Amino acid sequence: MSIKGLGLHTGAACQVRLLPAPIDQGRVFCRTDLAGHPEVTAHLDSVVQTTFATTLAKGEARVGTVEHLLAALHALSIDNLRIEIDGPELPALDGSSQPWVEVLDQGGIAAQPAPQRPLRPTRHIEVRDGDRVMSIEPAEQLSLEVEVDYPHPQVGQQRLSFQVESQAFRAHLAWARTFGFASELETLRRQGLILGGSLDNAVVYDAEGLLNTEGLRAPDEIVRHKTLDIIGDLSLLGQPLQAHIVAVRPGHTMTIALLKALTADPKNLQSTD
């Protein structure tokens, strides 16, 4: 299975191949354009940057904007996969997880003769940064309550409650696109970000309203995409989570901070297998 396109932030062209992997290998990125084809494991320990996207690295090998693919893998319960990429950033495609779901479905998803090993938090844990808050507590399955609040009249405050399950993800979340505001674009480009961004791979608002002529895919597409991003980042724990998460004004940095707080003490997690 392969797919190609431009990176949202770098603007670099790349091709990605998704290949079967053995039990317990996990999700592993391989930079085929670098000498020795170095690998980067999709794990919390590999996170090096969370500014507007999640970037993983090991040594000189970096892989950026991994969250949309990882969200699809997590929701579809694909635990072991080799991801070969010939550039520094996964392609933006249409800005959502939908193209990844489609290519995974086309290639087929094989069951492996080993059970998943879910983890469950043992207590309530919360992280804060000003008016941003994320918390996690034990539950029977992974569910999220997400709230966003942007000072734009066509976005404002949006809320979503979502139980993470394969069919629900396909139907209600996978297609939600990344987004931005025209007033911020020039500053971001000076910082070396959004170099591959366009109306083909993002929802963009200016002061007067939505620039995408085709409109939104849902009135609350923004909070749905934020929920998708959280699922992708949560996958970096490396095992399924049985937890309830509440996120107010979330972002990649907050989700990674929550995971680090969760894993700081082995007593915070218990195996449910």
Measure the CA–CA gap between 223 and 229, rounded to whole angstroms: 10
CA proximity to 136, closest of 48, 271, 234: 234
Helical segments of the chain, H only: 67-75, 98-107, 166-172, 182-190, 221-234, 252-263
Measure the CA–CA gap between 223 and 208, rounded to whole angstroms: 20
Reply yes or no on whether 252 is catalytic: yes
Distances (CA, A) of 51 to 76, 137, 142, 192, 251: 26, 26, 25, 11, 9
Measure the CA–CA gap between 66 and 162, rounded to whole angstroms: 21
The alpha carbon of 67 is separated from its chain's Cα centroid by a whole number of angstroms, namely 2
Q: Which residues are CB-neighbours of 8 under 8 A, at least 6 positions away?
A: 53, 65, 89, 92, 95, 178, 194, 196, 197, 201, 202
Q: Which residue has the tokens 């320990």?
A: 45
Angle between helices 252-263 and 221-234 (to 10 degrees): 30
Question: Which residue type sits at 49?
Answer: Q
Q: Which residue has the tokens 């990844």?
A: 100
3-class SS of residue 52: coil
Q: Which candidate in 9, 225, 244, 252 is catalytic?
A: 252
Q: Give the catalytic positions in this structure.
A: 252
